[in-house]
Amino acid sequence: MCGITAHVAESDSLRSLLTCLQNLEYRGYDSAGLALLNGSEVRVTKSAGEVESLKQRVTNGDLEGEIGIGHTRWSTHGPPTDENAHPHTDCTGKIAIVHNGIIENHDQLRESLQARGHTFTSDTDTEVVPHMIEELLGQCESTAAAFRSAVDKLEGSYAVAMVVEGDHRVYASRSGSPLVLGLGEDSQYLASDVPAFLEFTNQVIYLQDGDVVVLSPDGYRITDLDGRPLERTVETMSWSPEDAQKRGHDHFMSKEIHEQPTAIRQAIEGRIDGDDVTLEEFPPGSFADVEAVQFVACGTSYHAGLYCEQLLGEWGVPVSTHFASEYAVSSPPVDGNTLVVGVTQSGETADTLEALRVASEQGARTLAVTNVVGSSAARKCDDALFIRAGPEIGVAATKTFSSQVTTLTLLGERLARDVTGSPTEGHESRLSALQSLPEQVESVLAASDAEQLAHRYRDSRSHFFIGRGPSFGVAREGALKFKEITYEHAEGFPAGELKHGPLALVTADTTVFAVCSGREESKLVSNVREVQTRDGPVVAVAPRSASSLLEVADDTLTVPATHPDLVPVLANVQLQLLSYHSAVALGRSVDKPRNLAKSVTVE
Ligand code: F6R
């Protein structure tokens, strides 16, 4: 959802900025740009399209500078054109700004600036900022004071970075949008996310809302909006630079699908002891006061919530799952005994953060289940539990779904023990199955027929995904993955709902993927027959033991036998591969699907 970056060094910054921008492209790829301080002059280059086209414009050798800012855009205000690309400048062209987020009061600010004679050249909300600073520079004692004064007037969410002609510093601040400082040996970085500069440094400071940072060749200084100095902790990232590379795969999505065995192992590590769950963050009794659990999440994370809601419900924990964007609009009742769990890979999704804020304001206890240490969700919630998946770069979430389900299953065991006073039924076999899950994912990856089926069904006009219980969450997730990267029509339903409407759409051109954990087999067989009666081809995604379903289906994607609560994780891997191979066969932009961006930091 737009990525911003900055680099301050002794030597030329252009290459580092381009690397950071390329590493940030998963946040938006409509247009890209950068501003370099070349001697004392600010030089801006920007263009519609991906960072690659920017790169072609700037690598002819005539652009250099030690200090710079960069931006890769996911359009909110104004279409993806050269004019709307960042950086934006003031009337003099001496102040350049990059911004991630939305400035809600930009209309009023623009009107008053125009009334005072400022000329705007773009449709963006961002452009108000350089014009405001242009005015404030004449009124404030220093550039830092002018910058602070401008950002203090902004409403909405922002992470902004600025360079000014003749001033060898980068000024930056955040409120509601992420911004991380990277401390290299002889240079410093700013970015919306750590993978941007991970190949240069793993020493990071997660800036907090209201922080203002000034980077100069000599170091950095963090203050609040009144200019009072602040201390922030330097953290060492455990992610390695290779984690954020493709490692021989054609796409990040493929690499991340294949990383799932490792991701699941990491999620489990040190958290299971025999038939007990040992969450360091939550010793027994941590949830003794909890009477109800609500998951709030978006997209794939919402589906992980749906999946685990089924498990917790069966284990006697009152639980519900909510779209975060809807939760903020009409939240269900909560009190001090309600645990609201924000499930969010990035920890920066604006809708989820807002739902958590609403829940907290109403007195609920909040918990972030996230991949990113130092993310807004992790910092703002009462507690955090990390899914430990490593960086996920592909816009389509894959490994983090498996890590979320694994982590939520462990959390669910702990919750159920505290809420009901006893361990869940069959926990020994479930925990043991969880420990074998990585090898089972490996065997799915090694022997999947998904690529073959992707080719067989590539001309289908519609793709339905159906399932019951936890498999419903995976049916929804299968459909989301399929539509987002193939651009083909796909929908996920509870299998029993088909006959209540969607069946009207089933023809020979509608492929139906029936996801089965093994438990709900006979009812699913009836649903499959309903589809086949209307000439729809059915692919069963099921364990080999689900023989009656596998026999009746037109095609199959099988998974190894495991605990029925975990079969849908394996089925999901098959569906990820199906989506991936379908998208490749259709020539889609797998890692950067159109109109989408990872980490949606606007509501
Ligand atoms: C789908 C996808 C999105 C995200 C959603 C929530 O593949 O990636 O649907 O799952 O935007 O993001 P997080 O989990 O970062 O809150």
pLDDT digits (tens, 9 = 90+) for 222-275: 999 999 999 999 999 888 877 778 888 999 999 999 999 999 999 999 999 999
At the topology level of CATH, where does 3-243 sit?
Glutamine Phosphoribosylpyrophosphate, subunit 1, domain 1 (3.60.20)
pLDDT for 330 beyond 90: no
Report the nearest-CA residue for atom 4 of ligand 1.
Answer: 299
Tell me where in the chain the CATH 3.60.20.10 domain(s) lie: 3-243
What residues have CB less than 8 Å from 374, skipping those under 6 apart?
180, 204, 206, 235
600 lines ligand 1 (CB under 6 A): yes
Judge residue 39's burial from the number of C-beta atoms within 10 Å of its C-beta, 0-12 exposed, 13-18 middle, 19 or more buried: exposed
Helices (H) and strands (E) in the chain, counts: 18, 26
Listed range (2-16, 387-401, 429-443) with the worst mean pLDDT: 2-16
pLDDT for 5 beyond 80: yes
Provide mean pLDDT across the span 427-452: 97
> How far apart, in Å, are the Cα atoms of 212 and each of 115, 129, 132, 152, 415?
29, 15, 17, 10, 40
Give the mutation target among 301, 398, 572 for probing the ligand 1 site: most ligand atoms within 8 A of CB. Answer: 301
8 C-alpha vs ligand 1 centroid, how far in Å?
A: 32
Catalytic residue among 46, 94, 399, 598: 598
SS (H, E, C) 498-552: HHHCHHHHCCCCEEEEEECCCCCHHHHHHHHHHHHHCCCCEEEEEECCCHHHHHH
602 C-alpha vs ligand 1 centroid, how far in Å?
A: 13
Give me the pLDDT at residue 10, please.
Answer: 83
What residues have CB less than 8 Å from 232, skipping those under 6 apart?
181, 205, 206, 207, 208, 211, 222
Listed range (62-76, 294-308, 446-460) with the worst mean pLDDT: 62-76
**CA atoms of 578 and 567, how far apart (whole Å):** 17
* Token representation of residue 320: 């519900």
Mean pLDDT of the chain: 94
Active-site residue flag, 2: yes
**CA atoms of 239 and 115, how far apart (whole Å):** 49
**CA atoms of 436 and 62, how far apart (whole Å):** 56
Provide mean pLDDT across the span 488-511: 95
397 lines ligand 1 (CB under 6 A): yes
Q: Which atom of ligand 1 is nearest to the CA of 598?
A: 8
Listed range (38-52, 219-233, 533-547) with the worst mean pLDDT: 38-52
Amino acid at 117: G
Return the CATH number of the domain spanning residue range 261-443. Answer: 3.40.50.10490
Catalytic residue among 2, 20, 298, 516: 2
* Token representation of residue 190: 């700013």
Give me the pLDDT at residue 38, please.
Answer: 80
User: What share of the chain in percent tops pLDDT 70?
Assistant: 100
| pTM for the full predicted model | 0.88
594 C-alpha vs ligand 1 centroid, how far in Å?
A: 15
For residue 221, what is the enclosing H or E element? Answer: strand 219-223
**CA atoms of 150 and 175, how far apart (whole Å):** 13
In the numeric block, the tokens 């000329």 are attached to 119
Q: Which atom of ligand 1 is nearest to the CA of 396?
A: 7
Provide mean pLDDT across the span 489-497: 96
Q: Which atom of ligand 1 is nearest to the CA of 400?
A: 14
In the numeric block, the tokens 């409407």 are attached to 501
Provide mean pLDDT across the span 458-465: 95
Provide mean pLDDT across the span 468-497: 96
294 lines ligand 1 (CB under 6 A): no
**CA atoms of 486 and 482, how far apart (whole Å):** 6
Which residues are 190's β-sheet partners? 6, 181
pLDDT for 328 beyond 90: no
User: What share of the chain in percent tops pLDDT 90?
Assistant: 83
pLDDT band at 443 (very low <50, low <70, confident <90, very high): very high
299 lines ligand 1 (CB under 6 A): yes
599 lines ligand 1 (CB under 6 A): yes
298 C-alpha vs ligand 1 centroid, how far in Å?
A: 6
Give me the pLDDT at residue 76, please.
Answer: 74
pLDDT tens string 167-176: 999 999 999 8
pLDDT for 569 beyond 80: yes
CB-side neighbour CA atoms (13 Å) of 148: 19
**CA atoms of 96 and 33, how far apart (whole Å):** 11
Provide mean pLDDT across the span 372-377: 91
Tell me where in the chain the CATH 3.40.50.10490 domain(s) lie: 261-443, 448-603
Distance in angstroms between the alpha carbons of the first and the last residue of the chain: 11
Query: Is the separation of the CB atoms in 385 and 368 below 8 Å?
Result: yes
Return the CATH number of the domain spanning residue range 448-603. Answer: 3.40.50.10490
Closest CA to 161 of 24, 62, 49: 24
301 lines ligand 1 (CB under 6 A): yes
pLDDT band at 29 (very low <50, low <70, confident <90, very high): confident
